[in-house]
């Protein structure tokens, strides 16, 4: 029994016409002799509508009740799509989180999957051609409905593919794959045929919002091949797989990502003594604020500057917290700057290749783009720059690594 998992996002199931297109894709897989598990999101806009309703009812909606409310979005799309399947003569039925069941922890609004009853689903696939599973939702040990957080349907699909040892997990969306960079920003952007999990993680976390990050982590852990492709065409998309995959091209750099959602904070003249970093970052972390790039200069005469970035939505709360700790750590000043953005060069190939960083810095310098902060990982070089240069920086780096040329090794 060959099992294919297909996931369709909200824009792919948003109305009857779109669902008919999805049906065609499912039918063609069934005709090939595959058993298909179709994972669906809520119809576009539904989840937001339900969250708005919850906000109308309560300033702080009870998280468990909110999950039960929001889960109706996927319940609606799977019931409707299963009707279409049955009318088309397919042996099909819908499955909700509790019916599969997809067991999660009780961390409502952003639960994590603990287990999936693969044996039950496999037994059902003996009788059914198509199982239409609700994405995004699960149940905890008390049978309370949970949701996996925004974009959680991707994770549902990958987790089902992992549990069922499916041949592949196809993620259908409204773009036709993962690009070397944002095509809206750089017309030379090229669709990537095959990309490594770690590269995809960096692309995703930098705002290339094709796949939910957690689903990629899950796929990496369980070696699930993800095929990201368009509901609206039949062309192949991007295969997300392990770098050991023999089909993987050997490229140094796979893509250029950027993120404009940055604010840089600087604490000036901080006393350089043990525990000072903890005094700053513990209260931020307690407040749920995610700190991104951090730089601490070498101290001079016992004082140092501490610089880091956070998301723009956290600007005011970060300022409040820093104003409180400023005195304790003896900082002279709290400064912030919202006119910054982040560009990154990403590629598993750069692990053993020192020249990539130099090439990136040279390219930016040639365009007189000043680098405000630098951070590097094994597969990524990130520069913080003035945000007015974002577009220029992305295009410059895309050019420098010749990403418009298929298979070139940069």
80 interacts with its own copies by CB under 8 A: yes
16 interacts with its own copies by CB under 8 A: yes
> Which listed range, 96-104, 158-166, 295-303, 328-336, lies at the site for its own copies (CB under 8 A)?
96-104
Q: How far is the CB of 144 from its own copies (least distance, A)?
A: 7
Q: How far is the CB of 57 from its own copies (least distance, A)?
A: 5
Q: How far is the CB of 181 from its own copies (least distance, A)?
A: 39
Q: How far is the CB of 312 from its own copies (least distance, A)?
A: 29
- The smaller minimum CB distance to its own copies, of residues 1 and 59, is found at 59
CA-based torsion, 232, 234, 236, 239: positive or negative: positive
Residues paired with residue 194 on neighbouring β-strands, in sequence order: 239
How far CA 168 is from CA of 3, 157, 256, 293, 382, in Å, comes to 8, 10, 27, 35, 32
The pairing of strands 291-296 and 255-271 is unpaired
Q: How many residues bind its own copies (CB under 8 A)?
A: 37
301 interacts with its own copies by CB under 8 A: no
Contact 179, 190 (CB under 8 A): yes
Within 58-77, the residues that bind its own copies by CB under 8 A are 58-62, 64-66, 68-69, 71-72, 75-76
Question: Which residue, 45, 54, 116, 103, is CA-closest to 76?
Answer: 45
99 interacts with its own copies by CB under 8 A: yes
96 interacts with its own copies by CB under 8 A: yes
Contact 302, 380 (CB under 8 A): no
Q: How far is the CB of 65 from its own copies (least distance, A)?
A: 4
Angle at 187 between CA 184 and CA 191, to 5 degrees: 85
How many whole angstroms separate alpha carbon 360 and alpha carbon 381?
A: 8
> Which listed range, 95-103, 149-157, 226-234, 236-244, lies at the site for its own copies (CB under 8 A)?
95-103
How many whole angstroms separate alpha carbon 79 and alpha carbon 320?
A: 47
Q: Is 5 helix (H, G, I), strand (E, B) or coil?
A: strand
- The smaller minimum CB distance to its own copies, of residues 93 and 319, is found at 93
93 interacts with its own copies by CB under 8 A: yes
> Which listed range, 90-98, 283-291, 369-377, 400-408, lies at the site for its own copies (CB under 8 A)?
90-98
125 interacts with its own copies by CB under 8 A: no
> Which listed range, 54-62, 158-166, 197-205, 220-228, lies at the site for its own copies (CB under 8 A)?
54-62
CA 304 to chain centre: 35
Within 140-179, the residues that bind its own copies by CB under 8 A are 143-145
How far CA 292 is from CA of 259, 261, 263, 295, 309, in Å, comes to 11, 11, 10, 10, 5
Q: How far is the CB of 277 from its own copies (least distance, A)?
A: 38
Q: How far is the CB of 50 from its own copies (least distance, A)?
A: 8
- DSSP-assigned letter for residue 351: G
Q: Is 170 helix (H, G, I), strand (E, B) or coil?
A: strand
Which of 87, 328, 333, 367 touches its own copies by CB under 8 A?
Answer: 87
Angle at 69 between CA 12 and CA 122, to 5 degrees: 60
How many whole angstroms separate alpha carbon 120 and alpha carbon 19?
A: 27
**Tokens 């889960």 appear where?**
71
Q: Which residues lie near its own copies (CB under 8 A)?
A: 16, 19, 50, 53-54, 56-62, 64-66, 68-69, 71-72, 75-76, 78-80, 82-84, 86-87, 93-94, 96, 98-99, 143-145
């Amino acid at each position: 029994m060959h099992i294919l998992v297909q996931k369709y996002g909200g824009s792919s199931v948003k109305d009857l016409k779109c669902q008919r297109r999805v049906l065609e894709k499912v039918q063609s897989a069934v005709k090939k002799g595959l058993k298909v598990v179709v994972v669906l999101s809520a119809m576009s806009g539904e989840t937001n509508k339900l969250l708005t309703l919850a906000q109308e009812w309560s300033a702080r909606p009870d998280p468990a009740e909110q999950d039960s409310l929001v889960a109706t979005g996927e319940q609606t799309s799977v019931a409707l799509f299963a009707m279409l399947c049955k009318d088309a003569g397919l042996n099909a039925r819908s499955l909700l989180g509790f019916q599969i069941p997809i067991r999660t922890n009780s961390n409502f609004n952003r639960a994590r999957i603990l287990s999936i009853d693969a044996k039950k689903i496999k037994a059902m696939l003996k009788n059914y051609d198509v199982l239409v599973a609700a994405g995004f939702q699960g149940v905890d040990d008390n049978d309370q409905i949970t949701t996996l957080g925004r974009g959680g349907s991707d994770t549902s699909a990958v987790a089902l593919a992992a549990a069922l040892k499916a041949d592949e997990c196809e993620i259908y969306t409204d773009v036709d794959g993962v690009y070397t960079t944002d095509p809206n920003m750089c017309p030379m952007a090229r669709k990537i045929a095959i990309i490594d999990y770690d590269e995809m993680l960096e692309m995703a976390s930098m705002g290339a919002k094709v796949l939910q990050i957690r689903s990629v982590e899950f796929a990496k852990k369980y070696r699930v091949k993800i095929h990201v492709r368009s509901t609206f065409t039949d062309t192949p998309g991007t295969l997300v797989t392990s770098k050991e995959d023999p089909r993987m091209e050997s490229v140094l750099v796979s893509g250029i990502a950027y993120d404009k959602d940055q604010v840089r904070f600087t604490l000036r003249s901080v006393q350089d003594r043990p525990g000072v970093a903890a005094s700053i970052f513990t209260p931020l972390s307690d407040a749920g604020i995610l700190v991104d790039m951090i730089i601490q200069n070498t101290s001079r005469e016992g004082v140092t500057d501490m610089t880091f970035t956070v998301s723009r939505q956290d600007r005011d709360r970060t300022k409040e917290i820093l104003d409180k700790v400023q005195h304790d750590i003896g900082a002279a000043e709290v400064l912030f700057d919202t006119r910054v953005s982040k560009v990154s060069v990403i590629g598993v190939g750069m692990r053993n290749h020192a020249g990539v960083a130099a090439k990136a810095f040279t390219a930016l310098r040639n365009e007189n783009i000043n680098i405000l902060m630098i951070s590097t990982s094994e597969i990524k070089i990130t520069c913080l720059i003035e945000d007015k240069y974002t577009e220029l920086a992305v295009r410059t780096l895309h050019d420098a690594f010749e990403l418009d040329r298929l298979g070139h090794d940069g």
